[in-house]
Amino acid sequence: MTAGAYQGNELGALLGWWMLFQYRKKNPGKSLENVYMVCSTVSSMILRTIAKAEGFHFIDTLTGFKWIGNKALELQSAGKEVIFGFEEAIGYMCSMAVVDKDGVSAAYQLATCASYLYSQGKTINQQLQEIYDKYGTLSLMLQLLLIDIFLPFVALLEILTVNSSTWQFSSELCWFYNGSEVFFNTLTLWLTLCLNFHVISLWNLHNRNITTYGVKDASIACDESSECLVTNERGVSNETYEASTSKETASREINIDYRKKKKRNDFSIILPSAMIWFFCFSLSIPSFVLSAVLNFKDESICVIIEHTFGDTLQWVLLVFRVFLPMPLLLLSVVILVIKLVKSSIRDKESSSSKASFDIKRLVIFSLAMSFLYLIASFQRNMFNCVHIGSHDFRNSTIEKFKLPPLYNSNLNTIFIVSLSMFHYSSCITRALLCFFYCQSSEN
């Protein structure tokens, strides 16, 4: 049983998974709606993601175990079951027997977890990586699915307006449509891009482990150069030690060294996701603020009223919605295809492990999401670029305000409606892809 030296948040994720695993084993078929985990607000929010995926509750408190302990007691008095609490400064509460950080019970649970994983042919490092693989990717999927809940309403406004060639709704829905169209569509593209590079990072980590340790499952051989969390009393790896001694006489002493630091193996998506949401919302603010309905004799149009910098605004939107992210998306697709080919070649040369299969399945899923966006939205974006490039922003007539996606001088109404329907139909396909991926993960 060998692994790297981990930080407080990493052991918090591992022990949180382990306590949930034990609870389910002791209570098969029991609902998790009454189960809680607690951590300080400055600690990793990985348990929040796990809670959303698995169906239990997560609560964060102020820093310090007096807050975590008091919240746990408050929940217990309300009839709730608190199975774990932690803070990133290496403090863990693995039961309500001691409502405080308890190193003894944490060490016992960690040793028990390591023993179980060893019996399954896995290391602590591998299990922690599986947690990040599953729930980090799941967090991105949940964000994309959240966007897909709102996009059909945006699609309805757009398709009805294009088909009737006039804005039929209130002025309040005008600013909602213009802002949401920019925000949600841009966010979908950038989150898809984030998913791709997250998967590329996970593949690189998996490949590095295989290359470094020379085994398919990247079971870490702990020597003087590798920073081990669990070693025997002689300071060598269990595999090396057990090779020179019988299993009956092998030492069971465990040394846990928190002093060593290692390169982080978890590729957190919290920060890039938060930055993407903030960036996309900032990009959509002018569309929210400057939208208005202009009424003429024969028609009403929902437009962005900006006389001075209208052309600049449209080109800025194109840069951050098309010119910058699309090449990055194509680049990430090429990289993912190369990774997939390398994985297939390696699997042909030697037997494929479960970890390798999971990474390959993740690469395929990411490629499917990327191809879905390219097939459903690439043409729409290109036609919009052509219209903006040829549009006369100095025109003094109503034509000055007619801009994509509601209007396109190069296309007829039927073609614009078809592009919109094809673009927004990806919401359903994306949900199906996420569903089938999660089903295959469970199997």
The residues of the chain scoring below 50 in pLDDT are 1-3, 213-267
272 by Cβ neighbours in 10 Å (0-12 / 13-18 / 19+) ranks as: middle
Secondary structure of residue 228 in the 3-state scheme: strand
87: Cβ contacts below 8 Å, ≥ 6 apart: 8, 12, 39, 40, 42, 43, 63, 64, 65, 68, 101
Longest pairwise C-alpha distance within the chain = 94
Predicted local confidence at residue 173, as pLDDT? 93
In 3D, which of 325, 348, 355, 327 has the Cα closest to residue 209? Answer: 355
Burial class for 237, CB neighbours closer than 10 Å (0-12, 13-18, 19+):
buried
- Residue with token string 């396109």: 408
- What's the CA gap between 368 and 385, in Å, rounded? 25
Looking at residue 261, its pLDDT comes to 39
Residue type, position 399, single letter: E
pLDDT for the residue 69: 94
Distance CA 158, CA 170 (A): 14
- What is the set of domains in the chain, with CATH numbers? 8-119 (3.40.120.10), 124-220+263-442 (1.20.1070.10)
Count the residues in the chain. 443
Q: What is the DSSP string of 380-438?
A: HHHHHHHHHHH--TT--SGGGG--TTT--TTS-HHHHHHHHHHHHTHHHHHHHHHHHHH
For helices 8-26 and 103-119, the axis angle rounded to 10 degrees is 70
Q: What is the pLDDT of residue 432?
A: 93
- pLDDT reported for residue 267: 47
Per DSSP, helices labelled H in 37-164 are: 46-54, 65-77, 103-119, 124-164
Query: Are residues 50 and 20 in contact, defined by beta-carbon separation less than 8 angstroms?
Result: yes
Q: What is the pLDDT of residue 114?
A: 92
